[in-house]
């Protein structure tokens, strides 16, 4: 993959060939995957009409792949979020005409955080048509102090996701759309592990935190989903305790280096999880999300409950 004339990432055929993907699904016990686009392809920076054209090409290609393998794949569309009216229309088309179960969007859209009033029409349509919204961090700071040690991926992404969650909470998005199904990648980033600090800030500085929504942020735990991709037993135990057993979805980020290459391995390794909980976190979470590069790419598992 090339970005601005520079090498961005080397990928293998499991990132674009559905037959290669199905072989690996069978080898690792994955039944269904949800196809979507890789964040670098969001193109929120481009002209709205050009991004819409790209989104329609990607979404139609996904639909064709799903039609060829209807028992193995489902779809999450991509949208020109910088043009909310166009995005809302394309979301409705993808759900109503292409049969997609939801959409993947970035943790922000240009200078808009996800609390932006401009984005409300997209969330309104998602709630109306029952589309699941999978939010993936992207467009992290890549320069200056973040330019070494893979910091944008190691610490930038968790911060991006926490900003996205806080924006939706403090901005009143989850209050305005109580039936909106939203899942945040990578265990919800830094949010679950800083909820105490976030709630304390809300309580002691409402003049800064409660300017758009006066509801305690902890109230929305139980309304949002996260995946399990935290790579650590203690972190997963805490995540399930905070977010809830029925709101944590198996996640892998396969086939990229930061992913869990054998879906569910961390869950199975948990010594204090009951067999019933392991089954719940595995079997109800057997639907997965393929992230596209041009045509198809990496895996993030999402629950059937979230996608329905």
Q: What tens digit of pLDDT does each residue of 224-277 get?
A: 999 999 999 999 999 999 999 989 988 878 778 898 888 889 999 999 999 999
Residue pLDDT, tens place only, 190-238: 999 999 999 999 999 999 999 999 999 999 999 999 999 999 999 999 9
- Find tokens 């006066």 and name the residue: 214
The 10s digit of each residue's pLDDT in 142-176 is 999 999 999 999 999 999 999 999 999 999 999 99
CA atoms within 13 A on the CB side of 8: 12
Q: What are the start-end ranges of the H helices in 29-144?
A: 48-68, 84-96, 120-129
Mean pLDDT of the chain: 89
**Position 61 pLDDT exceeds 90:** yes
pTM comes to 0.90
- If one counts every other C-beta atom within 10 angstroms of the C-beta of residue 274, the result is 9
Count CB neighbours of 143 within 10 A.
7
* C-alpha dihedral, 76 to 262 to 254 to 194, nearest 10°: 80
Using CA atoms, how far apart are residues 163 and 140, in angstroms rounded to an integer?
A: 12
Q: Return the pLDDT at 283.
A: 63
Q: In 186-266, which ranges are E strands?
A: 225-227, 248-249
* Average pLDDT score over residue span 56-69: 96
CB-based contact 235:187 (threshold 8 Å): yes
Tell me the longest C-alpha to C-alpha distance in the chain: 55
- Over range 101-122, report the average pLDDT: 97
């Amino acid at each position: 993959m090339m970005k601005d004339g520079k090498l961005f990432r080397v990928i293998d055929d499991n990132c674009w060939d559905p037959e290669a993907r199905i072989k690996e699904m069978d080898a690792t016990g994955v039944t269904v995957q949800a196809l979507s686009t890789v964040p670098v392809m969001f193109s929120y920076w481009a002209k709205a009409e050009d991004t819409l054209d790209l989104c329609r090409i990607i979404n139609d290609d996904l639909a064709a792949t799903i039609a060829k393998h209807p028992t193995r794949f489902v779809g999450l569309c991509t949208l020109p979020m910088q043009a909310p009216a166009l995005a809302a229309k394309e979301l409705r088309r993808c759900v109503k005409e292409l049969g997609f179960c939801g959409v993947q969007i970035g943790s922000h859209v240009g200078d808009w955080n996800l609390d932006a009033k401009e984005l409300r029409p997209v969330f309104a349509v998602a709630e109306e048509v029952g589309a699941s919204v999978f939010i993936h961090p992207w467009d992290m700071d890549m320069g200056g102090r973040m330019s070494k040690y893979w910091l944008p991926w190691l610490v930038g992404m968790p911060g991006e996701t926490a900003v996205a969650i806080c924006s939706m909470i403090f901005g009143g998005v989850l209050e305005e759309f109580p039936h909106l199904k939203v899942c945040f990648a990578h265990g919800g980033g830094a949010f679950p592990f800083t909820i105490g600090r976030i709630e304390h800030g809300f309580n002691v500085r409402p003049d800064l935190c409660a300017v758009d929504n006066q509801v305690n942020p902890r109230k929305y735990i139980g309304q949002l989903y996260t995946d399990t991709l935290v790579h650590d037993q203690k972190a997963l135990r805490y995540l399930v305790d905070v977010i809830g057993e029925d709101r944590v979805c198996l996640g892998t980020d396969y086939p990229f280096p930061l992913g869990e290459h054998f879906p569910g391995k961390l869950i199975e390794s948990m010594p204090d999880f009951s067999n019933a909980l392991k089954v719940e976190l595995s079997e109800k979470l057997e639907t997965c999300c393929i992230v596209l590069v041009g045509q198809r790419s990496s895996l993030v598992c999402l629950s059937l409950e979230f996608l329905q």
